[in-house]
Each structure stands twice: as structure tokens, then as C-alpha cells.
């Protein structure tokens, strides 16, 4: 007899799972999972972002959460079919809980669940007004003193934060804050985005002039409003800045530009924040229930302290403050660092005729942009993927369905293929003295990003300048001190310098909590970012998800949001639903609240 087709296998298993969960038959449900299973839940069961690893953790979660969650109606997602390859059966699935509708992804191995992704799509009774439920816009008929759309928006802008308080304040108006603001707007959560720059997109406009996104357009869409089909593959900084400004207006966000957040404190009794901001020359006191720090992974500069910095007579600044190369033509520049910003700045300085030296203090993972796109991203984020029917939403969920515990196993073959393809390129870099790595376990760029948020360069041209000596290189050394006109290295070499750029990375986002709230709250929350992989700059123990990102923290009412454009888009959905549920007083018992192992 022939084995059942993939749809039959998945449908039978989901029916059995549905029946077991509905009846509270915990052991029957757990028996449907592989021993080495993974259940990644984005809010639906845990009101958290949490991965259960192995049957014991699945059992513990269900024991704690099944009665409250009330899952039902598990089935293959409408319009989808299961597929099978290499002994793995995969399917998109849908289900419900007592308060929400869910969507997910399932992989079966030997007839049992190997990986399960469950995500919250919408809260029942609080759906976004789309499709048949979209707002009318026009008000037909006649009504005295009727306000136009423009007048209503102006009234809202005048009231919110003054005569009427927002439920949520987002500190940081870059891509993360804007994406989350758009989600909350659609869920009717009164929100103010506070941004120190004058205009949306200024955080991009004010960076060095050669900056472009290193991620391709298919990876970078914002919620609701994708880039046009003729948008360039790699967005120049000013173009992405203009898009963010347009998006903020079109999505009707309450965006307070030229506004600085000065201080925030939380009242445990009233469960309310007091947020003091400086706006239009006056102090404004906001009283939100929820405070989101969307200040960016790359916004708290790590500025080193070297002897002699106080006597150096040239220009010196962190890469985040670099104005661009124009004023340094024919000058001698030293760039401390060897990751993305360092390479970009070195190349731009070389282009205007500066004599530029890169100081590489530790190894760097480098990958050609073309190789990364073709071998690393093409199956999910490329024009070929779009033409084959892949959507951004599905690509995001496929990526999310791979548990972090085993994600490196999927990445290693990709970067092995890249190393083989670009072997001559890597040999030329090493011959020039550049210190290469491929991640602690050869898993490459994206695992480095998830684990530590640093240590890599996506090559868009600068590596050739390093390889051929156009950008001078000093590697395997550190800075000993600065003199009035030079940088002295640990090997005794002296580099004459009119400019020193510290491309030395960024600190943990809880540093913003220390600045705005208190060191006690920052330590209570702990380090932000990283998986606990016990690899370089990502100390253990294993945590299984990004520390403190997009989920509840040890400080009630305090959230962290950000990451690249892909993460800002994808995780803003789940953070917005957590905030909406709290606003509507839907019970949100958090399972597996993250413990604090590291303070920074």
C-alpha cells in the first residue's frame, strides 16, 4: 500500500493533536513530538517569544499554559498544501486560541513533529480594519460642523500627549519605532513616537554620505507598504530616509520630531510611566502605560579610551558621527576597526584621495555581497523567490521556523559553499594580511549577527581596496596611544593622522535604560541581544531567543524593539499584539520570562 500523500499525513497528525489538546490529554499530545523536537512560539501560547527544546520542555509549557490558551481548529492553512522532501514533511498551518487566531509552520520527521512554529496573527474582536472592514474615509450625508480628515488629524495631534495621554510611548523614531508605530496605529493603540532628530529618516540622512543598505530590497520592506517594484536592490541612505518620512505621513503616525527624551520612571502602584521630554522648547510630561525603547542596536556608541585622545590635534570621532569624506581629501586618516562601517568609511575616504589606514584589532568575517545574495538569501529574499510565489510574510515565517539551536547547522553549508566559490578572493585578502574568520563554528555572517551583532563585513567594494593595498592595513595590533599628530600601535608602529575614526561598534541597548531610567532598571533587565551561544561576545548560558527583544522583560511595561529592517518588520507584529492585549485588559500570563545572566 502506498504511503499517504503529504496532506493526509499532516491532516491526520493535526486532527490527533487537536483532539488531544482539546481533551487536555497532555501525554498523548507530547507523544506526537520527536524526542529532539523544537516548538517556537511567538506569543500565542506563552505571551512571550520562547522556544521549547525537547519533549520535556514542550510538556512543561503545555502543563502551564494549555488550560488558559484553549487551542482548537488545527488544520492545514487555507489554500495551502503540504510538501515532502528528503524525509521531511512540511506544511503551513492555522489554528485558534481562546483569544486569538494563529498561523504557523510544521515539519514532520518519521511521522512526528520535529519543528513547530506558532504565531499570533490577530486578536479576536480586535482585528485590523482591512479588506471589507477598511474605514470608509468619506462621510456621506450632511452634518453640522463636520470635521474633515485633516481637521481630525490636527485635533488628534494637538490633544495626544497634552489633554489625552498615549497608551504607549516609543523612544526612537528610526525604522524600528516607525514600523512598530504603524502596527499600533492599525490596532488603535494611542502611541507617540519620540525622536531627537527633526525629520523621520534623519538617522539615515546624517550618516556618512556613501552609506547604503547592505541588505537587498526584498529583505527590507516595511509593514503594509512594500517598496515599489522598481526600487533599487540596495537603498542609498538618503533614499531610505525619504521613504521613512513618507511612510510616517502616509501611515498617520504621531511622530514627535526634534524631541528629546530626558527621563523616565515607573510607578509600581499605578503601573504607569512618567516620561519627561523636551519639545518645542518646553518640557512635556507623558504618562504612558507602556514604554518601548526603539533606540537601535547600533545607537549606543562604544567609544574606546586611549591614552592621548585628549591631546590629539586632528579630528577624532566615532563612526556614527562621521560626516563623510569630503573635508579629508589628501589628509591622513586612521580607521580603528574592520567591520561594515570601517570598510565603508575607508573606501569613501580613499575615493576622495585620503591616505587611509585600517587598523584591524581582531578577526573579521567577510562575504561578498553577490555571493551572500545568491547562496544565502536567494531562496527567500530575491526576485527569483518572488517570481516563484514566495511572499515576504512567508519568507519571514520560514526563517522564523528554524530554531536558533539548530540554525547554525543550516548556515554552515551555505558559507562552506561561499568559501569554495570565493577561495581566490579570500586568499588575496589573507595575503594582504587581513585576518579572516567564518564565525566560531564556520556558520558565517547571520549567526554572528544574531549572537553578537558585530564582527563582519558584507563586501560591496572595499575588500578589493584592502587586497590591492589601496587601503593600507595594520592587522593583529591594538592602539597603544595617540600623540598630537599620530596613532601609536602596540607593535610600535606610528601612523601619522589628521583624522581618527573609531569604528568600534555599539553597546547593549540596556545602556539606554540606564541613561533614561536608572542603572538599577538596566541591571534588572540585563543585557539586550544575543542567544547565549557561548561563542565570542555571546556568553552562555544558552537562552534560545534574542535576549530581551520584542518580548516582556524583568521590568514591567518596558520593551526593546529594533534590529535590521527585516526584524523591525517581522517582530513589530508580535510586539504590537502584546501591547494591544494589555491595553484591552486581556490576560497575558507570561511563560518563561527571561532570567538575567549578564548586565551588559
* pLDDT, tens only, 421-437: 999 999 999 999 999 99
Q: Kindly give the pairing relationship between strand 456-459 and strand 365-368.
A: parallel
Q: What is the pLDDT of residues 499-547, one digit of tens each?
A: 999 999 998 899 999 999 999 999 999 999 999 999 999 999 999 999 9
Cell of 467: 587586497
Give this prediction's pTM.
0.96
Cell of 178: 516607525
Band of pLDDT at residue 145, cut at 50, 70 and 90: confident
Q: Kindly give the pairing relationship between strand 33-42 and strand 191-194.
A: unpaired
pLDDT for 141: 79
The predicted model gives 235-240 an average pLDDT of 94
Q: What is the pLDDT of residues 205-223, one digit of tens each?
A: 988 788 888 899 999 999 9
Taking the CA atoms of 345, 346, 351 and 354 in sequence, report the sign of the dihedral they define: positive
User: Which has the closest alpha carbon to 219: 550, 549, 449, 422?
Assistant: 449
Comparing 419 with 209, which gets the higher pLDDT? 419
Cell of 243: 521613504
Cβ burial of 195 (10 Å; 0-12, 13-18, 19+) is buried
- Give CA separation, 430 vs 26, 250, 341, 435, 461, in Å: 56, 49, 20, 6, 16
- DSSP, res 374: I
Q: What is the DSSP string of 518-571?
A: -HHHHHHH---S-----BTTB-SS--SS-TTBSS--SSTTEEE---SHHHHHHH
Q: What is the pLDDT of residues 100-135, one digit of tens each?
A: 999 999 999 999 999 999 999 999 999 999 999 998
Beta strand extents in 322-455 (DSSP E only): 332-336, 355-360, 365-368
Interacting residues of 560 by C-beta distance below 8 A, sequence separation 6+: 292, 293, 294, 509, 510, 528, 548, 549, 550, 553
pLDDT for 142: 82
Band of pLDDT at residue 335, cut at 50, 70 and 90: very high
> How crowded is residue 94: how many other Cβ atoms within 10 Å of its Cβ?
17
91: enclosing H helix or E strand: strand 88-96
The answer to whether residues 319 and 313 touch, using CB atoms and an 8 Å cutoff, is no
Distance CA 222, CA 572 (A): 10
Interacting residues of 231 by C-beta distance below 8 A, sequence separation 6+: 217
* pLDDT(298) > 70: no
* pLDDT(591) > 90: yes
The answer to whether residues 550 and 561 touch, using CB atoms and an 8 Å cutoff, is yes
Distance CA 415, CA 445 (A): 8
pLDDT for 439: 95
pLDDT for 376: 94
The answer to whether residues 286 and 304 touch, using CB atoms and an 8 Å cutoff, is no
The predicted model gives 371-400 an average pLDDT of 95
Band of pLDDT at residue 299, cut at 50, 70 and 90: low
Cell of 224: 503594509
Strand partners of residue 76? 93
Interacting residues of 69 by C-beta distance below 8 A, sequence separation 6+: 44, 45, 97, 98
pLDDT for 3: 58
The predicted model gives 12-25 an average pLDDT of 97
The answer to whether residues 158 and 503 touch, using CB atoms and an 8 Å cutoff, is no
- Give CA separation, 415 vs 406, 433, 442, in Å: 15, 21, 7
Distance CA 284, CA 294 (A): 20
The predicted model gives 450-465 an average pLDDT of 95
Give the length of the chain.
600
Q: C-alpha 202: how far from its chain's center?
A: 19
Q: C-alpha 81: how far from its chain's center?
A: 30
Distance CA 404, CA 446 (A): 11
The answer to whether the bond into 54 is cis (omega within 30° of 0) is no
In angstroms, the first-to-last Cα distance of the chain is: 59
| Long-range contacts at 104-112 (CB < 8 A, ≥ 24 apart) | 104/397, 104/401, 105/397, 105/398, 105/400, 105/401, 106/10, 106/14, 107/401, 108/9, 108/10, 108/13, 109/34, 110/34, 111/9, 111/13, 112/32, 112/33, 112/34, 112/37
pLDDT for 164: 97
The answer to whether residues 157 and 254 touch, using CB atoms and an 8 Å cutoff, is yes
The predicted model gives 162-189 an average pLDDT of 97
Give residue for cell 545607537.
299
Using left for φ > 0, alpha for ψ between -120 and 50, and beta otherwise, residue 515 falls in alpha
Alpha helices in 70-146 (DSSP H): none
pLDDT for 2: 44
pLDDT for 139: 78
Amino acid at each position: 500500500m502506498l504511503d499517504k500523500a503529504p496532506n493526509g499525513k499532516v491532516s491526520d497528525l493535526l486532527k490527533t493533536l487537536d483532539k488531544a489538546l482539546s481533551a487536555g490529554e497532555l501525554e498523548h499530545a507530547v507523544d506526537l513530538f520527536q524526542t529532539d523536537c523544537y516548538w517556537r512560539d511567538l506569543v500565542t501560547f506563552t505571551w512571550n517569544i520562547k522556544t521549547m527544546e525537547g519533549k520535556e520542555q514542550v510538556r512543561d509549557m503545555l502543563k502551564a499554559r494549555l488550560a488558559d490558551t484553549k487551542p482548537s481548529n488545527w488544520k492545514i492553512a487555507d489554500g495551502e498544501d503540504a510538501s515532502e522532501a528528503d524525509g521531511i514533511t512540511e506544511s503551513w498551518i492555522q489554528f485558534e486560541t481562546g483569544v486569538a487566531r494563529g498561523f504557523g509552520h510544521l515539519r514532520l520527521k518519521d511521522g512526528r513533529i520535529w519543528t513547530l512554529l506558532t504565531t499570533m496573527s490577530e486578536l479576536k474582536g480586535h482585528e485590523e480594519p482591512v479588506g471589507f472592514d477598511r474605514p470608509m474615509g468619506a462621510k456621506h450625508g450632511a452634518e453640522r460642523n463636520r470635521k474633515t480628515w485633516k481637521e481630525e488629524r490636527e485635533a488628534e495631534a494637538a490633544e495626544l500627549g497634552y489633554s489625552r495621554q498615549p497608551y504607549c510611548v516609543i523612544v526612537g523614531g528610526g525604522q524600528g519605532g516607525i514600523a512598530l508605530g504603524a502596527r499600533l496605529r492599525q490596532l488603535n493603540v494611542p502611541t507617540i513616537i519620540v525622536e531627537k532628530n527633526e525629520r523621520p529618516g534623519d538617522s539615515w540622512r546624517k550618516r556618512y554620505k556613501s552609506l547604503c543598505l547592505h541588505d537587498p530590497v526584498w529583505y527590507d520592506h516595511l509593514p503594509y507598504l512594500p517598496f515599489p517594484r522598481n526600487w533599487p536592490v540596495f537603498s542609498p541612505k538618503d533614499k531610505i530616509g525619504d521613504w521613512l518620512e513618507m511612510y510616517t505621513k502616509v501611515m498617520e503616525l504621531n511622530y514627535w520630531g526634534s524631541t528629546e527624551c530626558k527621563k523616565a520612571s515607573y510607578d509600581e502602584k499605578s503601573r504607569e510611566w512618567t516620561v519627561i521630554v523636551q519639545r518645542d522648547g518646553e518640557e512635556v510630561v507623558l504618562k504612558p502605560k507602556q514604554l518601548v525603547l526603539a533606540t537601535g542596536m547600533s545607537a549606543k556608541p562604544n567609544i574606546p579610551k586611549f591614552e592621548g585622545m585628549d591631546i590629539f590635534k586632528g579630528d577624532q570621532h566615532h563612526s556614527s558621527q562621521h560626516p563623510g569624506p569630503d573635508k579629508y581629501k589628501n589628509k591622513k586618516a586612521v580607521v580603528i576597526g574592520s567591520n561594515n562601517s570601517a570598510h565603508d568609511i575607508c573606501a569613501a575616504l580613499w575615493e576622495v584621495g585620503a591616505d587611509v589606514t585600517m587598523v584591524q584589532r581582531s578577526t573579521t568575517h567577510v562575504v561578498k555581497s553577490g555571493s551572500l545574495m545568491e547562496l544565502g538569501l536567494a531562496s527567500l529574499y530575491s526576485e527569483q523567490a518572488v517570481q516563484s510565489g514566495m511572499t515576504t510574510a512567508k519568507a519571514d515565517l520560514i526563517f522564523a521556523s528554524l530554531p536558533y539551536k539548530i540554525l547554525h547547522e543550516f548556515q554552515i553549508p551555505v558559507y562552506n559553499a561561499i568559501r569554495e566559490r570565493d577561495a581566490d578572493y579570500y586568499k588575496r585578502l589573507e595575503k594582504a594580511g587581513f585576518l579572516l574568520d567564518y564565525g566560531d563554528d564556520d556558520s558565517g555572517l547571520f549567526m554572528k549577527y544574531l549572537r553578537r551583532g558585530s564582527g563582519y563585513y558584507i563586501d560591496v567594494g572595499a575588500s578589493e581596496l584592502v587586497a590591492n593595498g589601496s587601503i593600507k592595513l595594520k592587522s593583529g595590533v591594538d592602539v597603544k596611544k595617540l600623540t598630537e599628530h599620530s596613532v601609536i600601535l602596540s607593535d610600535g608602529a606610528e601612523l601619522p593622522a589628521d583624522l581618527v575614526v573609531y569604528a568600534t561598534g555599539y553597546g547593549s541597548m540596556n545602556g539606554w535604560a540606564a541613561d533614561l531610567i536608572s542603572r538599577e532598571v538596566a541591571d534588572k533587565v540585563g543585557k539586550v541581544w544575543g542567544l547565549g551561544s557561548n561563542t565570542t561576545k555571546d556568553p552562555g548560558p544558552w537562552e534560545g531567543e534574542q535576549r530581551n527583544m520584542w518580548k516582556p522583560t524583568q521590568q514591567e511595561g518596558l520593551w526593546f524593539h529594533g534590529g535590521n529592517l527585516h526584524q523591525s518588520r517581522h517582530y513589530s507584529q508580535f510586539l504590537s499584539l502584546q501591547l494591544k492585549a494589555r491595553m484591552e485588559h486581556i490576560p497575558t500570563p507570561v511563560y518563561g520570562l527571561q532570567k538575567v545572566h549578564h548586565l551588559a
